[in-house]
Amino acid sequence: MQLQMPLPPKYTEADEDWLTEQVLHRKEQFGSALCILAHHYQVDAIVDLADFVGDSLKLSQQAASRRDARFIVFCGVHFMAESADVLSGPDQAVCLPHLAAGCAMADMADATDVSAAMEEVRRLAGCQVVPVTYVNSSAEVKAVTARAGGAKVFAIPDQHLGCNTAAAMGYGDDACVVYDPQKPEGGLTAEEVRRATFILWNGYCYVHQLFTPQHVRAARARHKDIQVIVHPECPREVVALSQASGSTEQIIQAVTAASSGSRWAVGTESHLVNRLARRCGDKFVRILSDRPSHCLMMARIDLPHLLWTLDSLAEGRIVNRVSVPSQIAADAKIALERMIATKAVKEATRTKTQ
């Protein structure tokens, strides 16, 4: 994680209305030279000022399509800003308003460890292993995994997403083993690796890991007709008990398109769920757990940091630029384009079968 320098009191002591007004003023000044992107987990004050709001893949596609924007200010976490930098042009600068806004899960897999682990797993398995990287990973991890190919799947960095993907492909839990990078040989025997089809990196999201099967049962006990929809970063048992799972964008689409009066318990970050509840006033929409689930990393981006970034850009200083070295960016781009293509195929298949 990188350090963020403290802001001058002009920003930290200002009230929300003034900060909002100043950001709007800067947006007007920059015009199409500025593009503010925001992830669905951002607070309303940021979402309301963004030019585009989306899930991680959609935001990186948006960054790729806004060639007229000299500055892309990314209100999300570090790996998302990296993806935007990889997919945008060399004359565009991607800035993350708070440098310490990193994704805790992406930080659980470092490129050197992943490279070493891939070698180790191949040796133990005695065959090729296909590394499958989730979008929540650093550009360097994406690059390392895009270079490799093989027969078993090594899912990095989220064990839950890996296990949920295996289940969606019809594999049982016995097809999965967890690789712990803190232990010699991942804590696995050669026999365990040979028998498994999915080797899961021991990473997780602390926000989604908190949802439990008990939350699903309690929601159903309160409202018999409630539908449960969760993010696939939730544990396998939670996804198995739910009616549906999907990315933040897919969750929003499913609930928005549902019939008036329907009831939903949603297993993902609280800012998204609360906003969805307000926007779908004709439905009953609640967080799945009994307490808020906040991503503290996303919350580091706030109005003072956004305005400070825009003021600096206006004064000719490019601050908090996220720049992926070109030799890493080329391979990370291959991984990202594969993720975007897989998503497009899945969406086309879903549309056809609806």
Cβ nearer to ligand 13P, comparing 55 with 85: 55
Should residue 43 be labelled a site residue for ligand SF4 when binding is judged by CB under 6 A? no
Write out the H or E segment, with its range, that includes residue 167: helix 159-168
What distances in angstroms separate CA 187 from CA 179, 201, 309, one per listed residue? 7, 11, 44
Q: With CB cut-offs between 5 and 8 Å by kind, which of ligand 13P, ligand SF4, none does residue 73 bind? A: none
Residue 126 region, left (φ>0) first, then alpha (ψ -120 to 50), else beta? Answer: left
DSSP 58-86: HHHHHHHH-TT-SEEEEES-HHHHHHHHH
**Which of ligand 13P, ligand SF4, none interacts with 56 (beta carbon under 5 to 8 A by kind)?**
ligand 13P
What are the tokens at 171? Answer: 């594999």
Could you tell me the sign of the dihedral formed by the alpha carbons of 58, 231, 78, 147, in that order? negative
Cβ proximity to ligand SF4: between 124 and 239 the closer is: 239
Residue 247 makes contact with ligand 13P by CB under 6 A? yes
With binding defined as CB under 6 A, does residue 164 bind ligand SF4? no
Among 192-200, 277-285, 291-299, 339-347, the segment contacting ligand SF4 (CB under 6 A): 291-299
**In sequence order, which residues have a C-beta less than 8 Å from that of residue 329 and are 6 or more positions away?**
85, 86, 139, 143
Binding-site partner at residue 104 among ligand 13P, ligand SF4, none, CB < 5 to 8 Å by type: ligand SF4
Residues numbered 308 to 347 that lie near ligand 13P (CB under 6 A) are: none
The position carrying tokens 């090594």 is 154
Residues that bind ligand SF4 (CB under 6 A): 77, 103-105, 136, 205, 207, 233, 269, 295, 297-298
Residues that bind ligand 13P (CB under 6 A): 55-56, 103, 135-136, 205, 231, 233, 247-248
